[in-house]
Structure 1
Amino acid sequence: MTPWFRDSSLHFAVGIEDTFVPQEGVGRRKLDEYELTQHYHQWKHDLSLAADAGADMIRWGIPWYLIEPSPGKFDWEWTDRVVEHLGDIGLRCIVDLMHYGTPLWLDNQFLNHRYPEAVAAYAEAVAERYRSALDSWTPLNEPIINAVYCGEQGTWPPYLKGDDGFVKIITQLAKGMVLTQQRIAAAQPEATFVHVDAGFRWTGQWPAGELEHLEERRFLGLDLITGRVGADHPMREHLTAHGVTEAELAWFTENAVTPDVIGVNYYPAFTTSHRDAATGLVRPQEAGTEGLVDLLHTYADRYGQPLFVTETSRGGPVEERLDWLEQSVATVHRLRAEGMPLIGYTWFPFFALVDWLYRESTEPMDHYLVQMGLYDLERDSGSVLQRRPTALVDRFRALAKATQA
């Protein structure tokens, strides 16, 4: 049987924002997007809305910290119901196994020496339980952003900083990704692996060597897991200078895994950063479809695998979101016509998300609602976050239906 990613179709997907950072501390609130957006309560309605909007696939994540509340002890009650409903409505799920947060019992989070084995054991348990219903997996979403937030900027646990912290975290994440794919493939040989990363771009004037460093570093997660960090890799010296041993690098080469699909996340107003030469300030720059085209070509040329736009959208007024939907889908069709192996398009998030800055604040959650979806979230008098359809719903459905005709 031809796998879905080789059936020549353009798959239309939506995604539900699923960042989980459950660790709390002084000045730091728990960040669980499902809890904040009431998805735990409205999950059935949310998934049915996704299918009704014309999506044939969905990016949806499992909250590891909740389903494995203690090591090796799983609570499947909620996920059993979700997975059953996904089957009932015919929505293929690309499962986000890891979307930033680790369980509370894993001290030092990603830095814990047990992390790679722990995340792989969790993933194997999920794959074994749902092997008859789920077959498409993302071992870890956006490893580079994960390493930046947790290892370079000290924003999320374990709060490391600088190049040394970044290298420690990205190495641990990559080990976990490799072991996760290996364990799932052993449990489910028919599994499909969609490795997803955020695509970064930079413009403006940068100090000598800094731009080149950033442009190579953005691929480090995927390059490590695919065994590409050989003797001539431009990031090898940087890794060894920050404690990665030759034996560790050899392990990645010997245990290399190959994604079936490369997922590229792109936001026209955020993915590209511009550095002002006069002030040295770095700010997001609008890059439109030009940035999307550039990024997809970059990943296609580097990895030679089928590509899936696994996240794209725009915040702001509905008219601006609708315009980006039209432009981005038209661009995807054009690139496919030119021969790019581009197999999917995802509007992400399906409904509004809560800005990550909520975690560091004391303001009410509604202050941080960012309307980026096909549906807006609006709190009613009973404090229920109602899913309010926008004009994007009908247009997304029409665009999806046109590809299936």
Structure 2
Amino acid sequence: MTTPNNRRSASNDWQHRAAELGERLPSGFVVGTATAAFQIEGGAREGGRGESVWDWFTAQPGRIVDGSNASVAADHYHRYAEDIALARDLGSDAYRFSFAWPRLQPDGRGALNRNGVGFYDRLLDELLAAGIRPMATLFHWDTPLALRGGWLNRDTAQRFGDFAFLMGEAFGDRIDAWVTINEPATVTLNGYALGIHAPGEPQLWGALPSAHHQLLGHGLAVQALRAADVRGQIGITNVHSPVQPASDREMDAVVAGLFDVLHNRIFADPVLLGRYPVLDEPFDSVLRALAEVDPDDLVTIHQPLDFYGVNYYLPSRVAAGSGDASSPDGRAEALTRLPFHLEPFGEHPVTGFGWPIAPEYLSATLTELRDRYGDALPPVFITEGGASFADVVDEYGEVDDLARIDYLAGHIVAAVDAVSAGGVADGVDLRGYFVWSLLDNFEWAAGYTQRFGLVHVDFQTQKRTPKQSYRWLQRVLAARS
């Protein structure tokens, strides 16, 4: 649990200091953008694509805030060349995207779908022609619906390992870096524990097998990619949130420790240390399902990695006592059955999602990873960082998103300063930062109500409009030495 040292927050004139930031970036530091297949591709019924658990989830009334779905989304399936041109003109070094498992393996098993392979062949060729390094994520939440039980079913881990081998054979000569699974914590907590994401059936503590099976799938995927002799580096991406108790009361400290384990450590410890964490009383029985796993599974999960991906968005302030449906974090009835709830960070401005804008906690995250894992921590990429705001195209055809400029500058500076000589996270080998996201997209249960993109998308016309943040980052990258 971490409370960061005070540091000067990013000033609100970063839009005039692009060159200064570009010159501060270390030599070789990768700056890229990130997307996910389900959120941008569309083409839901084209090319033999199968149905995902998210297609099924979005078809259920009341699941998505604005009642929308991702059947078209940003239409990247048809407009990928235009989108890669935007990434090229931005000057980005790398592009993190995800393979749509149902597009490539509609039933979650068997041979790859030739049409799906063809789409990603064209996408990769476009990236390489543009001089952009591909970072590919094998699983970004779109589990094939045909895999009944999803990640609660141990067999899904085996199916994922098989899928990874086929993907390594098909694309292993052209991908610079592979992410096996994106944010298993979010899939477990939002999807299986609380039910606010697909598959939408709240299991609370019964969701823990989905965490283990995703991590087992990760380990099998690492083995499979290496067996396929891929040339790119291999890692995983976890979302990390530094945790602090809401007060100095003993019970707040206890539940903050519980939240830290549930959100951070059960997804990082097995990957980096080869073991699950242990809880003290009164919550020592919560992780019983993980304490009883086959030790051979932990050996499989604990594969040597070339890098560790960190998605950072916000810190968590935790207090004892359950949440309720009327509280800011009361997004699901299941929250009323938990022994803790999240308290707001009133001292910080917030994003469109109401998330605190607190770049100093990114520094804290890197410090915590170093202190917790030491030499077991591989080189690190910030594989996602970004913010949603209420972006609109003005009468001059511009999107004035200065808040996003300040957000990105503050977080990139915090990360780079933290790992510099004498910085609070000195010793962490930080290799780069990927902005979430290149494009406005379908933002899961929030539908189209939250915009994270550097590029504005009019979802009616599919017109792309680079925002001020895009132009600013373009100048930052052009100023690098």
Q: Same fold (TM over 0.5)?
A: yes
TM range, smaller chain: 0.7 to 0.9
1:353 to 433, 441, 444: 441
What TM-score do you get using the length of structure 1 for normalisation? 0.85
1:291 to 345, 361, 371: 361
Higher strand share: 1
Task: State the Cα distance separating 1:239 from its structure 2 match.
Answer: 6.5
2:55 to 3, 18, 22: 22
Give CA-to-partner distance per residue, 1:220-243, whole Å, 9 cap, x none.
Answer: 12222334316x744995576236
Q: Which residue of 2 aligns with 1:332?
A: 415
2:208 to 147, 161, 167: 167
- Give the paired residue count: 382
Give CA-to-partner distance per residue, 1:287-318, whole Å, 9 cap, x none.
Answer: 52211110121123333321111111122250
1:266 to 312, 318, 325: 312
Distance in 1 (CA, whole Å) between partners of 2:143 and 2:321 is 41
Q: Which amino acid aligns with 1:302?
A: R
Task: State the Cα distance separating 1:101 from its structure 2 match.
Answer: 1.8
1:301-380 matches, within 5 Å, as 301-303=371-373, 304-316=377-389, 318-338=401-421, 339=426, 340-358=428-446, 368-379=448-459
Give CA-to-partner distance per residue, 1:138-179, whole Å, 9 cap, x none.
Answer: 110001111102221123444453443231110111110000
Distance in 2 (CA, whole Å) between partners of 1:279 and 1:105 is 35
Mark the CA change 1:292 to 1:384 in structure 2 (over 3 Å): closer, same or farther. Answer: same
3-state DSSP class of the match of 2:431?
strand
3-state DSSP class of the match of 1:347?
strand
3-state DSSP class of the match of 2:162?
helix
2:142 corresponds to 1:101 = yes
Greater RCO between the two (CA within 8 Å, min separation 6)?
Answer: 2
Q: Which amino acid aligns with 1:342?
A: L
Q: Which amino acid aligns with 2:102?
A: Y
Q: Which amino acid aligns with 1:400?
A: L
Q: Which residue of 1 aligns with 2:119?
A: 78
3-state DSSP class of the match of 1:193?
strand
Distance in 1 (CA, whole Å) between partners of 2:321 and 2:184 is 32
Preserved contact between residue 19 and residue 31 of structure 1 (Cα < 8 Å): no
What TM-score do you get using the length of structure 2 for normalisation? 0.72
Distance in 2 (CA, whole Å) between partners of 1:229 and 1:33 is 37
Q: Which residue of 2 aligns with 1:182?
A: 223
Q: Which residue of 2 aligns with 1:214?
A: 259
Preserved contact between residue 376 and residue 389 of structure 1 (Cα < 8 Å): yes
Distance in 2 (CA, whole Å) between partners of 1:49 and 1:184 is 30
Gap regions ≥5 residues in structure 2: 1-25, 40-53, 328-341, 346-355, 392-400
Root-mean-square deviation (CA, aligned residues, Å) is 2.8
Give % identity: 20
2:183 corresponds to 1:142 = yes
Preserved contact between residue 266 and residue 312 of structure 1 (Cα < 8 Å): yes
Q: Which amino acid aligns with 1:273?
A: S
Distance in 1 (CA, whole Å) between partners of 2:96 and 2:310 is 13
